[in-house]
Amino acid sequence: MIESVSYETLMSQRAEIMKQSVGIDYAQYETGVLAFDYERLLADTGYDVNTACEIQSNTAVGHTPLIELKNITELVRAVAKPGKGARIFVKDEAANPSGSFKDRRASLSVHQAKQKNYTGVVAATSGNYGAAVASQAAKAGLRCIVVQEAFDSQGIAQPEIAEKTRACEAYGAEVIRLSVGPELFYVFLRVLKETGYFNASLYTPYSVLGIETLGYELAVQMQEQQAVFPDVVIATHAGGGNVTGTARGLRKAGAVDTQVIAASVDLSGLHMASDHDFNRKSFTTGHTGFSIPFTSWPDRVDVPRNAARALRYMDRFVTVTQGEVFYITQVLAELEGLQRGPAGNTSLAAAFVIAQELDKEKIIVVQETEYTGAGKHPFSQLNLAKQMGVEVRRGDPKDNKPGQHIVIPEHPSQITVTDVELDHVRRSYLHHAIESLNQGEHLSDVDIDFLAAETHSSKTYVQEVINALC
Amino acid sequence: MTELIVKGTWVEVYNLVLPAGERAPQVPEDTQKVPLEMRTKGFLVKPASLGDETEIVTTVGRRLRGKLIEVNPAYTHQFGPPTPELSAIGEEVRAILRARGQLK
Ligand SMILES: Cc1ncc(COP(=O)(O)O)c(C=O)c1O
């Protein structure tokens, strides 16, 4: 072992390290035994949506095109019932400097770090967010370290993460690559402590406020282009920042009736901390391995309170299969001339189905694309899948089984969505909430109100579920 | 193998963070059986050979010790061969649009 600071010692300093590295005293926002003042936590940062837009404009983040996918809409109508087949638009977030909406998420953190005279930023992420933080840090003249879970015990790197390593290094960041496991957090803490850098966590208020501009912008653009707000916005969902920030931004723009749908790739049966499963997922984000646990209990992150609280904002939550996402990725390239993905194409696959449920004049927005390339492209993932013994074939996507068979649909009519029962997720959230209580702690009225807001339900609902649990 | 790599070369070092069997309790069984490993790149501080315990300076100026495992490590992620299971999709969906008179 390489370090004198033991796992236990470091973990015991966790709260102090986090306070130093984020500069937020979360304790002051506690209002009950579970409740905290979420809105005040966000508001106290001083970044409203206009300020965020301004800061982002300085680094060419945002103002991405909103593109109508006319050919895909026609394909929807070819398989939909008469009169059905909503128009599908996509917000081309790949146009951001590092190639995804994560630039929005990174921008305020890096801005804040610079304002507060930190000399560098650290982020624990294997995804686009690392590249985004590295890119923003490069522009701001700050040092950057990215800690990734990158390879399995055979030394085989997940190709999409390998591409992120390359991208981060291209921006001059240091990348610490680890094998599989949640103890990444220990290495992350060690680096924070050693460097005194700012924790550009995915889950601080800065992160979520940075994403609000995405929802805000797309609502304004849709008004400009079509003189309406979108009927539905679909967001690829993992840790919850994307859904949370987008939904909040939509509301701030006045799009209060827009339905917000979260979409994830179904990876059921695969374990997120399993060395064996690591390279058998074919997706690194936007999947149920993150979205199910994070939606049903968001406070499982590096900071004391997760500012990404997706269950508050989603009206519906659906899953699609791996094979369906690969299929729609190919369709997007060949019918719309857009090579994008993987992540945004999860909500595109869902949009393909949800558009069939809606009348022709309705409008759906897929709220992001991301750049693609070596490592991120379906070829990279499917070649690795085959190498790992996963079967790839054409067929009925109902036979898709994560880690065993990736089934590419034979016809667009075979694409479906599976609804994740929100009632089930809410109950699971409340179950976690009760479990998290310490001995002798009792829920007050403030807590019940908080839980109703958290679960996007009512006090009566919360009371009923809790009474049944206790 | 004993060839000395010059100071300042871009290299990768290896560290064992947690040995197998000493992983966090919540980690599944298969992961328990393998160590938590770390690889970091930087510039070599003093001449060293592959396999040596050595020191690097990372791009942020951090000094780190570890076993020298790679010299100027390559990026090896790629596309690989095209996936036959995807290659017919374009023509299939264009045929659907053609049948509706949407495409020539
Ligand atoms: C391009 C892209 N889309 C969507 C997501 C999911 O976002 P979130 O984790 O905030 O739900 C991610 C990040 O993991 C991403 O990189």
**Domain range list for chain B:** 10-99
* Mean pLDDT confidence for A450-455: 98
Helix (H, G, I), strand (E, B) or coil at B19: coil
Asked whether A77 and A85 are in contact (CB, 8 A), the reply is: yes
**Hey, are the CB atoms on A145 and B60 less than 8 Å from each other?**
yes
**Hey, are the CB atoms on A195 and B18 less than 8 Å from each other?**
no
| Burial label, A217 (beta-carbon count in 10 A; 0-12, 13-18, 19+) | buried
The tokens describing A411, both together, are: 């016809």
Asked whether A357 and A84 are in contact (CB, 8 A), the reply is: yes
A:205-264 residues touching chain B, CB 8 A cutoff: none
Closest C-alpha among A381, A388, A243 to residue A323: A381
Closest C-alpha among A334, A338, A358, A320 to residue A77: A358
CB A298 near ligand 1, within 6 Å: no
* Mean pLDDT confidence for A254-275: 98
Closest C-alpha among A323, A382, A340, A375 to residue B83: A382
Closest C-alpha among A416, A342, A330, A350 to residue A372: A342
Q: Give yes or no for residue A55 having a pLDDT over 60.
A: yes
Out of B15, B33, B83, closest to residue A392 by CB? B83
User: Which of the 8 DSSP states describes residue B21?
Assistant: T
Asked if A271 is an interface residue toward chain B (Cβ–Cβ < 8 A), one would say: yes
Residues of B in contact with A179 (CB under 8 A): 34-38
Out of B36, B62, B100, closest to residue A74 by CB? B100
Calculate the dihedral angle through the C-alpha atoms of A72, A74, A77, A82, rounding to the nearest 10 degrees: 160
Domain ranges for chain A, please list them: 7-54+100-205, 59-98+206-419, 422-469
CB A368 near ligand 1, within 6 Å: yes
DSSP string computed for A87-153: EEEEE-GGGSTTSSTHHHHHHHHHHHHHHTT-SEEEEE-SSHHHHHHHHHHHHHT-EEEEEEEEE-T
The pTM of this model reads 0.97
Interface test with A, best of B11, B17, B64 (most A CBs within 10 A): B17
**Hey, are the CB atoms on B85 and A382 less than 8 Å from each other?**
yes
Closest C-alpha among A441, A425, A406 to residue A283: A406
User: Which of the 8 DSSP states describes residue B26?
Assistant: T
**Hey, are the CB atoms on B40 and A153 less than 8 Å from each other?**
no
| Burial label, A235 (beta-carbon count in 10 A; 0-12, 13-18, 19+) | buried
Residue A208: Cβ within 10 Å count: 27
- The ipTM is 0.97
* Distances A54 to A57, A214, B80 between C-alpha atoms, Å: 5, 13, 42
Instruction: Using pLDDT thresholds of 50, 70 and 90, give the confidence band for residue B1.
Output: low
Tens digits of residue pLDDT in B16-25: 999 999 999 9
Interface contacts (A, B; CB < 8 Å): 170
Q: Determine the pLDDT at residue A9.
A: 87
**Hey, are the CB atoms on A333 and B40 less than 8 Å from each other?**
no
* Distances A55 to A22, A42, A113, A335 between C-alpha atoms, Å: 19, 17, 13, 36
Instruction: Using pLDDT thresholds of 50, 70 and 90, give the confidence band for residue A126.
Output: very high
**Hey, are the CB atoms on A273 and B26 less than 8 Å from each other?**
yes
In degrees rounded to 5, what are phi and psi of residue A154?
Answer: -85, 0
Helix (H, G, I), strand (E, B) or coil at A423: helix
CA angle A403, A237, A416 (to 5 degrees): 65
Instruction: Using pLDDT thresholds of 50, 70 and 90, give the confidence band for residue A1.
Output: very low
Residues of B in contact with A75 (CB under 8 A): 93, 96-97
Asked whether A457 and A315 are in contact (CB, 8 A), the reply is: no
* Distances A140 to A186, A193, A340, A351 between C-alpha atoms, Å: 27, 22, 28, 37
A:355-394 residues touching chain B, CB 8 A cutoff: 374-375, 377-380, 382-383, 392-394
Closest C-alpha among A180, A47, A171 to residue A112: A47
Asked if A16 is an interface residue toward chain B (Cβ–Cβ < 8 A), one would say: no
* Mean pLDDT confidence for A450-456: 98
Give the chain A residue whose CA is nearest to the CA of B100. Answer: A78
* Mean pLDDT confidence for A91-116: 98
**Topology of the domain comprising A59-98+206-419:** Rossmann fold (3.40.50)
Helix (H, G, I), strand (E, B) or coil at B41: strand
Let me know if the fold of A7-54+100-205 is the same as that of A59-98+206-419: yes
Tens digits of residue pLDDT in A130-172: 999 999 999 999 999 999 999 999 999 999 999 999 999 999 9
A:410-469 residues touching chain B, CB 8 A cutoff: 411-412
Q: Give yes or no for residue A2 having a pLDDT over 80.
A: no
Residue A445: Cβ within 10 Å count: 10
Q: Give yes or no for residue B2 having a pLDDT over 90.
A: no
Q: Determine the pLDDT at residue A4.
A: 60
User: Max CA-CA distance within chain A?
Assistant: 69
Give the chain B residue whose CA is nearest to the CA of A408. Answer: B85
A292 φψ region: left (φ > 0), alpha (ψ -120 to 50), beta (else) = alpha
Give the chain A residue whose CA is nearest to the CA of B29. Answer: A274
**Hey, are the CB atoms on B30 and A274 less than 8 Å from each other?**
yes
**Hey, are the CB atoms on A179 and B36 less than 8 Å from each other?**
yes
User: Which of the 8 DSSP states describes residue A231?
Assistant: S
Closest C-alpha among A231, A258, A250 to residue A359: A231
> What's the CATH code, domain A7-54+100-205?
3.40.50.1100
A:72-111 residues touching chain B, CB 8 A cutoff: 74-75, 77-79
What length is written for chain B? 104
Identify any residues that bridge with A409 across adjacent strands, giving them in sequence order.
A395
Between CA A24 and CA A355 the distance in angstroms is 42
What mean pLDDT value characterizes chain A? 97
CB A80 near ligand 1, within 6 Å: no
**Angle between helical axes of A322-336 and B89-99 (0-180°, round to 10):** 60
* Mean pLDDT confidence for A365-377: 98
Distance between A40 CA and the closest CA of chain B, angstroms: 34
B:40-59 residues touching chain A, CB 8 A cutoff: 40-42, 58-59
Instruction: Using pLDDT thresholds of 50, 70 and 90, give the confidence band for residue A195.
Output: very high
* Distances A148 to A131, A158, A381 between C-alpha atoms, Å: 11, 11, 18
Calculate the dihedral angle through the C-alpha atoms of A40, A45, A46, A50, rounding to the nearest 10 degrees: -100
